[in-house]
Amino acid sequence: MSVEDAGAQPLAGRLGPGRARAVALRVAARLAKAVVTLVGVAVVVFIVLRLLPGNQITSSLGVNAGLLTKAQYTDLEHFYGIGKPLPQQFGQWAGDLLRGNMGVSEQSGRSVASLIGAALPVTLELAIAAMLIGLVLGVGAGAVAAAAPGRLPDRSARLLALAGLGVPSFVIGAGLVAFLASVFHYFPSSEGFASLASDPWLNIQQIFWPALTLGLGIGAAVPRRERLPCWPRCSCPIRPGWPAPIRTSCPAACGSG
């Protein structure tokens, strides 16, 4: 069999029928659990919101809701769909959600679906940039730590990873904003958001710092896994999959290969 044929061989053939069946059952079980979790969260949130004092009428009108007549209040209940029994309200909400009807925003007057569609490209750009930055930082720190186990680079990488996991992203972001604005008088977001198509350079500046803030948390989890390939070459009784201990007694053989 050639290399091309081996690469083109289906995954089920390479894993074996039993292994492929087990993987498929595991994936199906995870998906089923995810669906059950989403439905359970939706039911709990729906019930909790109905148990809170007030409703959509009092939320939108405030104290003026007390000036409504009974007929006006009934009409508004019918308009918002809150005068129906709770199971019927939940069923109507779930059906509208599956059809893509998420309602209308009270603040902007636009549909929620259009608001999500407008924010989705920026969110995807930020998520992709944060993931790339996190992988670059994490893989780099993990490689440095694996090349010098137990020494200063390894300890420094572990310390930075611990800080990235322990410090909340909003604290890092607020610190970056304050530092750049006060020291360098640099605040690109004050100019209004620019898309990648309209002004690429300004878009990169506006996306980079939020992506760096999120990427630090993503990259902080990578160095520990990056050090795993080094462990089997150590003379210490450490195996992949164990919690990463502080290897004070491990010799520098890992770094020598």
Is residue 141 pLDDT above 50, yes or no? yes
- Whole-angstrom distance, CA of residue 176 vs CA of residue 170: 10
Helix (H) or strand (E) holding 93: helix 86-98
pLDDT, position 13: 52
Beta carbons within 8 Å of 182's beta carbon, 6+ residues apart: none
Mean pLDDT, to the nearest integer, of 185-204?
A: 85
Mean pLDDT, to the nearest integer, of 172-194?
A: 87
- pTM summary value: 0.66
- Whole-angstrom distance, CA of residue 167 vs CA of residue 165: 6
Summarised one tens digit per residue, pLDDT across range 37-50 is 999 999 999 999 88
pLDDT, position 9: 52
Summarised one tens digit per residue, pLDDT across range 54-76 is 888 888 888 888 888 989 988 98
pLDDT, position 130: 95
- Side-chain-side CA neighbours of 228 within 13 Å: the count stands at 11
Confidence bin at 228 (pLDDT 50/70/90): low
pLDDT, position 187: 83
44 or 164, higher pLDDT: 44
pLDDT, position 59: 84
pLDDT, position 38: 93
Mean pLDDT, to the nearest integer, of 170-177?
A: 91
Is residue 210 pLDDT above 70, yes or no? yes
Is residue 202 pLDDT above 80, yes or no? yes
The dihedrals phi and psi of 193, each to the nearest 5 degrees, come to: -70, 135
186 or 251, higher pLDDT: 186
- Side-chain-side CA neighbours of 54 within 13 Å: the count stands at 10
Confidence bin at 131 (pLDDT 50/70/90): very high
Confidence bin at 34 (pLDDT 50/70/90): very high
Which residues, in sequence order, are bridge partners of residue 111?
A: 104
Is residue 127 pLDDT above 50, yes or no? yes
Is residue 99 pLDDT above 60, yes or no? yes
- Whole-angstrom distance, CA of residue 171 vs CA of residue 189: 18
Q: Could you give the 3-state DSSP secondary structure of residue 105?
A: coil
| Cα-Cα end-to-end distance for the chain | 34
Which of 109-113, 166-170, 244-248 bottoms out in mean pLDDT, i.e. has the lowest?
Answer: 244-248
Summarised one tens digit per residue, pLDDT across range 239-256 is 444 444 444 444 444 444
- Side-chain-side CA neighbours of 46 within 13 Å: the count stands at 17
